[in-house]
Amino acid sequence: MKNKILNIISSSAEYISGEEISNKYGVSRTAIWKHINALKQEGYQIESFPRKGYKLIQRPDILLENEVLTNLNTSKWGKEKFYFLNEVDSTNNYAKKLASEGKPEGTVIVAEEQSAGKGRLSRKWISAKGKGIWTSFILRPNILPNFAAQITLVMAVGMIKALEKNLGVSAKIKWPNDILINDLKVCGILTEMSAEIDRINYVIVGIGLNVNQSNDDFPDEIQDSATSLKICLGKEIKRVQMLQVILEEIEKVYNLYLEKGFSEILDEWKNNSCTLGQEVIVKMPKEIIEGMAIDIDSGGCLIVKDKENIIHKIIAGDVLV
């Protein structure tokens, strides 16, 4: 009923009286008033005047189900199941629970704030309230587990397309899955999987996109390496619209990957890479490799040729340029 009331007041430029809503939906004036208050609590600005009724003044830029699903142009993503959480430890952890309960591919989880956001290699991901897009998706791809690393690259290509389409921003991908603007990190992707030897149960893709932070919002230790869309573009960015475009672009790229395979996506990844063709230092837990980043293989591994012309195939590590 709350959503019906929201729809009726948002479809009218004028005041809608309590009587009109009550007649249309057969609810009492008190019930309407309670739903209106709940909407105000969620962040909708609604004016109410005795004898005139209610008028929607402004929608909130909060990633509420109703906001994100209105005019969302996907076939499955977000529409299967959508979970909005005010606060959670990590949307990836929440998604794992839902996936193990059997929730389908295309399920989307978003949180306004994460108290224990996770990054790659057991790092923390700072996820301040309302400043970014902290989201996870459940996938159930019919591929062998040893190809799962491709999914991260597929998602990175989707993110590049979404940033270009929504904001005209030309971002770059730093292997394996950092999205950079002006050489600073604006987005990270964390892919986790549950699988048996020959079958994937589910893949969770978590995306953290810095949207409306100022430089001071980042902790000192990442101020020199992190950025946000607001810092890059000099204006506040609407998170709802950004998430809609992300879901649309990622669904398209993912479907293309499932239908046509990895090679087309890999080409796009390479075209948008800022790692390939560079002299790099790759830090791994037990060694450091220096050399030229010459390629990415079909498993998503970085291929580095060192000074002795020895070829290294790197599965996981941190690239320093």
The answer to whether 266 contacts ligand BTN (rule: CB under 6 A) is no
Nearer to ligand BTN, 117 or 158 (CB): 117
Among 29, 40, 52, 123, contact with ligand BTN (rule: CB under 6 A):
123
Q: Which two tokens stand for residue 10?
A: 């948002």
Among 18, 106, 141, 188, contact with ligand BTN (rule: CB under 6 A):
188
Among 53, 78, 117, 291, contact with ligand BTN (rule: CB under 6 A):
117
Stretch that binds ligand BTN, among 2-10, 18-26, 140-148, 204-212 (CB under 6 A): 204-212
Q: Which two tokens stand for residue 232?
A: 């890059």
CB of 127 to ligand BTN, least distance (A): 6
Nearer to ligand BTN, 56 or 138 (CB): 138
CB of 180 to ligand BTN, least distance (A): 11
Residue number closest to ligand BTN, CB atom: 188
Nearer to ligand BTN, 113 or 264 (CB): 113
Residue with tokens 């810092």: 231
The answer to whether 208 contacts ligand BTN (rule: CB under 6 A) is yes
Task: With beta carbons less than 8 A apart as the criterion, state whether 110 and 63 touch.
Answer: yes
Stretch that binds ligand BTN, among 73-81, 121-129, 274-282, 283-291 (CB under 6 A): 121-129
- For residue 18, which of 54, 56, 57, 55 has the smallest C-alpha distance? 54
Distances in whole angstroms, Cα of residue 263 to Cα of each of 1, 260, 270: 47, 8, 10
Write the binding mask 86 to 115 for ligand BTN: x where contact by CB under 6 A, - elsewhere: ----xxx---------------------x-
The size of the chain, in residues, is: 321
Nearer to ligand BTN, 67 or 178 (CB): 178
Nearer to ligand BTN, 21 or 92 (CB): 92
Stretch that binds ligand BTN, among 57-65, 129-137, 145-153, 268-276 (CB under 6 A): 129-137
What does the alpha-carbon distance between residue 201 and residue 142 come to, in Å, rounded to a whole number? 9
Report CA dihedral (310, 313, 314, 315) to the nearest 10 degrees: -160
Beta bridge mates, 318: 283
Stretch that binds ligand BTN, among 36-44, 122-130, 211-219, 273-281 (CB under 6 A): 122-130
- How many C-beta atoms lie closer than 10 Å to residue 313's C-beta? 11
For 144, residues 6+ apart whose C-beta sits below 8 A from its C-beta are 198, 200
- For residue 163, which of 68, 256, 271, 250 has the smallest C-alpha distance? 250
Among 82, 83, 134, 137, contact with ligand BTN (rule: CB under 6 A):
134
For residue 36, the SS3 value is: helix
Q: What number of CA atoms fall less than 13 Å from residue 154's CA on the CB side?
A: 28
DSSP H helix total and E strand total for the chain: 9, 14
What does the alpha-carbon distance between residue 88 and residue 112 come to, in Å, rounded to a whole number? 8
CB of 2 to ligand BTN, least distance (A): 27
Dihedrals phi, psi of 156, to nearest 5 degrees: -60, -40
The answer to whether 218 contacts ligand BTN (rule: CB under 6 A) is no
The answer to whether 138 contacts ligand BTN (rule: CB under 6 A) is no
Residue numbers at the binding site for ligand BTN (CB under 6 A): 90-92, 114, 117-120, 123, 125, 127, 134-136, 178, 188-190, 206-208
